[in-house]
Structure 1
């Protein structure tokens, strides 16, 4: 049971009228309020270019939480919200923001605690961070923390440039780089499954595990994000952050404690152990893909190149599958397969651990056997499944597979949503499930190498139909090692 401790802070949201703020941030802040983590001593400032009064802004916030809020709480909650039109490049705008921040600090007894959430285009991050410092918004007696949405750069060089700029105003311990996948309940449950169960942890190594698979599959295409996605692609959008973060949590060594510094150190150590392939073997290890139209319904499930704001000759990948390897003592020799893509047959986010079976078979040839497999499903149905072989009832010694599974409805429906968790963790100063700069840099180093290798020998795109399981080359990647993908269905 989580102890309810009231947090005290001023939360300033740059991009306060945007889609992210309305769909995710305001509902998340309301849930913290409804549960008692925020009470009287908090305030929220929304900023954006458009002109709004406090009253109109509060109406927008009230509308964004209408479906989840107790109607008797709404007005009291939104009374803590304020708005200022803001030009991120204008010095005077920051002075207006400073005056309001100081006023609210006194009104709500906020102790100088300030959280700045950058819910806008990354091109403005540098400017905002520098201005927050130069105009005195971080010169308070309390804490100052910066929350940043991905993408954090588009390659290692741009990420380094951005990090250097942020460093003028904030030190590493003050920067909270959000990966909302790390806020998901089942992702955080990975640590509990491993470290709270000695039986599992004892098997968590190359002596017992045959292969590891991490899948982030989406049924939808790029939708209205074509302009952004065509300059990003699956490798930058999903692999470089979400997938590698999940891999690092999944495979890191046992930490001395669950302290944020210890967990971050182990994640970094794991990422450093991943082999960066030579350029001439990248195409053997990493498969790019791009979806084509579905041949039976090309109007509904059209090709990526026919999507709005996408170039008709685009070579941007909407899919990537790959084989990672580690030179750590624990994982040396174990293939770590990853895949992510759009317009696949099903929406599925899961982790699959397949255990080795290298002992003589003692049972009947008629036995129907499966590899012992642990499946952690993160979405759409949260569950944990362990596949075992048991004896078929009756005479003989044949076996058949069975499953031990947590029911989806056993998951607490009141469990916090990802943004609720990340905002709460930031308010508490817990950076465990945020990305450290070392993690970001190591992830970009690997992603950059893959892009370089793909450029040397481009794959002909598109190479998979909408609604399929992805490119045939992704199946061949595993087949070479004698493995198959865990089904998406």
Structure 2
């Protein structure tokens, strides 16, 4: 495995700890070698010292074993490489000459993908057994995504390309397939008019931090909605695939993306909310607003929060609103899917006619759990109702260890499993839906609504749901 950007933040925080965990549990082939590339003029000792200082702390103490760690370090090598220098790729070819199979992980800016793939091919490093992993963001719009796909596709077949979205590696996300299609009690209800709305929230407690330089050119729509949230929407809304083969699953996800109703300029003005955090309190500490972050222009109109209403024009989902929400500096870190079922057609209990609807709440992080919220009779005389929940804590329900998303997906790459990676047409269909919204915001030229850091976003996002008789589930 050759990691481009191997000295970067993602490699240190996620990739190397994930590979260590895979090694710890015997999920890497015994002949595995991991080559990290970077422009630093390090020898191997300096590289290993850098890993000790910057990556080891991201491994939980309960999983750390000194002997295993020493064995893992023996797999690692460092190759100094400037992606613009053809001679450096010759050195990379020499370092990996004995490999029966090469996995190239491109953890770099997407603008470098073309150059890297061209030079890999020119150095005879790409063969029928090679695989390439493309880290998001894959482009900034449809045109750039097509260009990246074309350039990478000149050297790698579609079956060799792994477009990674770490949300697809989460245990609870993958469990959605079983929840939906492995339980006869749910599938008949999983449609209009039984379901009245669906909410998908990915809230982050952190601000932009050191990513401000990248983030200000992207915003929440490109950074989160176009990929993570749309992938979650696809799994919730897809039809049953004919099998669990990669293309059968991805065919159904593609149909969802192509069925998403395109928003007109009037729809964008009415059904989308952009926000930008201002100074507030998060984690009992005062934190700066977006314009106070380092490397953020004072006149920036980049959104750090998006809420929107979407519709899927199919028989199954006719007139069912999907509410998507994501933001930075929110009240707490939380990712969840809420499926709200329609109320009974006749209010048999009129004194509580405004009772909370039945909901299936699928929590993705920080905990992984599934909760079915029902109404039950309160103890005592009379028929007063109260909401109760049937809780499935996935952490305690199974004895098996639950791998982190990157570990699971890296093992999938090694084993050649494409199901939980995006196909080219999926990526482009997502951009086809997102691009007009971004362009509409530019046409409207409105400032994002301010919201205090540590809150759940601007008030306008609550009004978005309230006019349909719904509310966000916190």
TM over 0.5, yes or no?
yes
| Mapped partners of 1:34, 1:358: distance in 2 | 51
Query: Secondary structure, in 3 states, of the residue corresponding to 1:198?
Result: coil
Deviation at 1:72, TM superposition (A): 1.4
CA contact (8 A) 1:279 1:452 kept: no
Of 369-378 and 469-478, the range deviating more from structure 2? 469-478
Deviation at 1:366, TM superposition (A): 5.1
1:414 corresponds in structure 2 to 401
1:461 corresponds in structure 2 to 448
2:19 corresponds in structure 1 to 29
| Mapped partners of 2:86, 2:418: distance in 1 | 31
Aligned with 1:126 (options 98, 103, 114)? 114
Query: Secondary structure, in 3 states, of the residue corresponding to 2:241?
Result: coil
Alignment of 1:285 with 2:271, yes or no, is: yes
Deviations 1:377-426 (A, max 9, x none): 11112111111111223333332221101236416583111110110011
Alignment of 1:117 with 2:105, yes or no, is: yes
2:160 corresponds in structure 1 to 174
| Mapped partners of 1:59, 1:292: distance in 2 | 39
| Mapped partners of 2:322, 2:449: distance in 1 | 25
Of 248-257 and 413-422, the range deviating more from structure 2? 413-422
| Mapped partners of 2:164, 2:91: distance in 1 | 28
CA contact (8 A) 1:367 1:400 kept: no
2:240 corresponds in structure 1 to 254
| Mapped partners of 1:138, 1:366: distance in 2 | 66
CA contact (8 A) 2:282 2:329 kept: no
Query: Secondary structure, in 3 states, of the residue corresponding to 1:227?
Result: helix
Q: Which runs of 4+ in 1 moved over 4 A?
A: 295-299
| Mapped partners of 1:337, 1:457: distance in 2 | 21
Structure 2 unaligned regions, length at least 5: none
The 3 A distance-change label for structure 1 pair 366 and 212 is: closer
| Mapped partners of 1:199, 1:368: distance in 2 | 26
Deviation at 1:364, TM superposition (A): 5.3
1:138 corresponds in structure 2 to 126
| Paired residues, number | 468
Aligned with 2:362 (options 376, 392, 397)? 376
Alignment of 1:38 with 2:24, yes or no, is: no
| Mapped partners of 2:280, 2:155: distance in 1 | 49
| Mapped partners of 2:397, 2:12: distance in 1 | 26
| Mapped partners of 2:148, 2:282: distance in 1 | 45
| Mapped partners of 2:256, 2:282: distance in 1 | 44
Alignment of 1:71 with 2:66, yes or no, is: yes
Deviation at 1:442, TM superposition (A): 1.1
Deviations 1:275-329 (A, max 9, x none): 1112232111111111122399999222211111100110000000001101111
Alignment of 1:154 with 2:149, yes or no, is: no
CA contact (8 A) 1:241 1:443 kept: yes
1:470 corresponds in structure 2 to 457
2:85 corresponds in structure 1 to 90
- RMSD of the alignment, in Å? 2.0
Alignment of 1:439 with 2:434, yes or no, is: no
| Mapped partners of 2:8, 2:416: distance in 1 | 26
| Mapped partners of 1:282, 1:197: distance in 2 | 37
CA contact (8 A) 2:204 2:329 kept: yes
Deviation at 1:13, TM superposition (A): 0.7
Structure 1 unaligned regions, length at least 5: 1-10, 106-111
| Mapped partners of 1:330, 1:284: distance in 2 | 24
Q: TM-score if structure 1 supplies the norm length?
A: 0.92
Deviations 1:151-177 (A, max 9, x none): 100111111111111111112111111
| Mapped partners of 1:180, 1:76: distance in 2 | 27
Deviations 1:220-269 (A, max 9, x none): 21112111111110000000000001101111001111111111000001
CA contact (8 A) 1:280 1:453 kept: no
The 3 A distance-change label for structure 1 pair 53 and 237 is: same
The 3 A distance-change label for structure 1 pair 295 and 416 is: closer
Of 228-237 and 61-70, the range deviating more from structure 2? 61-70
Query: Secondary structure, in 3 states, of the residue corresponding to 2:252?
Result: helix
Aligned with 1:449 (options 411, 424, 436)? 436
